[in-house]
Amino acid sequence: ISPMQSNLSPIPELFVSYDSAQKLKTEAGELTSHDLSPRQICDLELLMNGGFAPLKGFLGEEDYNSVVDTMRLADGTLWPMPITLDVSEKFADGIELGQDIALRDQEGVILATMTVTDKWVPNKAHEAEKVFGADDDAHPAVNYLHNKAGAVYLGGPVTGIQQPVHYDFKARRDTPNELRAYFRKMGWRRVVAFQTRNPLHRAHQELTFRAAREAQANLLIHPVVGMTKPGDVDHFTRVRCYEAVQDKYPAATTTMSLLPLAMRMAGPREAVWHGLIRKNYGCTHFIVGRDHAGPGKNSAGDDFYGPYDAQDLFREHQDEMGIEMVDFKHMVYVQERAQYEPADEIADKDNVTILNISGTELRRRLREGLEIPEWFSFPEVVKELRRTSPPRSQQGFTVFFTGFSGSGKSTIANALMVKLMEMGGRPVTLLDGDIVRKNLSSELGFSKEHRDLNIRRIGYVASEITKNGGIAICAPIAPYSATRRAVREDIESFGAFVEVHVATSLEECERRDRKGLYKLAREGKIKEFTGISDPYDEPKNPELRLDTESVDVDNCAHQVLLKLEAMGLIAA
Ligand code: PPS
């Protein structure tokens, strides 16, 4: 392997010239259009700009099968990741082989055309096993494969019309040819790339400095801003974090550029893929650390891959790839020496204090507003992270009451709202069943479909309120557990979801019959009435269950407050 860049000349792109693009764009208006998913937009950008060279388009069936089974294209070229264009069965039915289609972004802008040469139904379980190591939905890419991707794949060469439009951090985005040109201009013959989906803390700085020293190379910080692992710090925050520590890196030897890659979290195969991409971006060396592109635990609670599997696979192929690995063991902080060291190189382990803060622990400290020590991260980074993840007592959340009609949901919800408003600090919105049905869902009835729609709308509004730091109190019947779970998932990506089961029995609700509805339901004058002629799935694990039969409203609302306090959502 030559550690020198033998070739900083331009890499082939799939774009046509500006004039041809204008013409093609007009003509493509007539073509059948496929609206690209966010992941497909990322893939297309790297196909078009040469990041995925030598690919010329989305894989055809023969290449796909070969990549899945052997990590190579049909002609033998090393390529570990299937780059496929998944579409719905309905869309595929209308496509004939040889047909050109337009590929549009989510606003309808035509980015490229593709000549469809292949159309097939992939064996997704096989793809999952081979590429990701297990057909287990706990793996984010396997989950995507089974639950998001369309059933049919289309393959064929792509003709690039324009880059996807980015409005954020434009100056920090470079194509492979732009980075190659920069390296050429700066005279950087050896460049080591650091791939990351996380903010840079001190351990990363130490690791990248060591790598640059070891490889005697310049350093490219090359963070992924396309799609990373669900739950990661969003890329806006991360880029602000990177910018905040730029001056900790010597400008003469280091640069930073954003990579619009959609990661798959495929560990070993992903490491090889990342290496090939960095080669295309003009790098000579690539850092692979512990658990590179790891997807987390499988559904049995075990790791999908061994911590150094990615390094092993990379090592096996690096000669062929033409990019050299700089491998690192886990870096930890040695207190006595006040520095980071690779965990496996510490000879006097038993006589020194080794400190480490895991990603999970860091998130906990941020959530609870606890200290994050300077040996772990830079104050500038911590400040940015705290701006995005304030402590729980300052974040938005949703309290979701569920129970029979007449169980007391609205009354308790109202009391809770007033108590929270008395405390102040965050805006509070009450989305009571009746209010929602008047303002948001006035056209809906009580069929399963309509109830679901009603709850999804409430969930959407509550998730927006939660995202923006407010408190949403919802009080619908919400009889179906699957719908409640879906709403929980929507909201939990922004803040806490506190499910409160108002567990008043049906008999008691019917005995009270405040609105006289139970009587009408018994007489068959109201159809599909919850508890009488329509089901109610009792919540199995609500955050709180309230007994209203022996406790008054004020006390019920107080119990909710105590729960919120215990969860850290309101200050004690
Ligand atoms: S759901 O299932 O969550 O969409 O219901 P929700 O939006 O909370 O609306 C429930 C209120 O509508 C009145 N109502 C009915 N409830 C249940 N089933 C039927 N068929 C029905 N028809 C009208 C009832 O007054 C509910 O009010 P609450 O406040 O729950 O007593």
| Structure tokens given for 451 | 């109830």
Distance of CA 170 to the CA centre of its chain: 21
CA distances from 410 to 351, 398, 436, 464, 556 (A): 61, 15, 12, 21, 12
Query: Was domain 170-332 assigned CATH 2.40.10.120?
Result: no
CA-closest residue to ligand 1 atom 27: 405
162-195 confidence digits (pLDDT tens): 999 999 999 999 999 999 999 999 999 999 999 9
* Active site annotation includes 196: yes
Query: Was domain 18-160 assigned CATH 3.40.50.300?
Result: no
Residue intervals of the chain classified under CATH 3.40.50.620 are: 170-332
> How high is the pLDDT of residue 1?
39
Answer whether 446 contacts ligand 1 (Cβ < 6 A): yes
CA distances from 202 to 23, 356, 526, 566 (A): 51, 11, 65, 33
> How high is the pLDDT of residue 2?
46
Catalytic residue, chosen from 197, 202, 392, 451, is: 197
Answer whether 547 contacts ligand 1 (Cβ < 6 A): no
- Taking all residues of the chain, what is their mean pLDDT, rounded to a whole number? 94
* Active site annotation includes 530: no
- Calculate ∠ Cα 59-62-67, nearest 5°: 65
> How high is the pLDDT of residue 7?
57
281-301 confidence digits (pLDDT tens): 999 999 999 999 999 999 999
The complex's ipTM?
0.92
Mean pLDDT of 142-170: 96
pLDDT above 80 (res 572)? no
Residue intervals of the chain classified under CATH 3.40.50.300 are: 392-566
Residue intervals of the chain classified under CATH 3.10.400.10 are: 18-160
Q: Which atom of ligand 1 is nearest to the CA of 436?
A: 7
Distance of CA 269 to the CA centre of its chain: 19
Mean pLDDT of 465-483: 96
14-53 confidence digits (pLDDT tens): 999 999 999 999 999 999 999 999 999 999 999 999 999 9
CB 340 within 8 A of CB 333: yes
End-to-end CA distance of the chain: 61
Fold of 392-566: Rossmann fold (3.40.50)
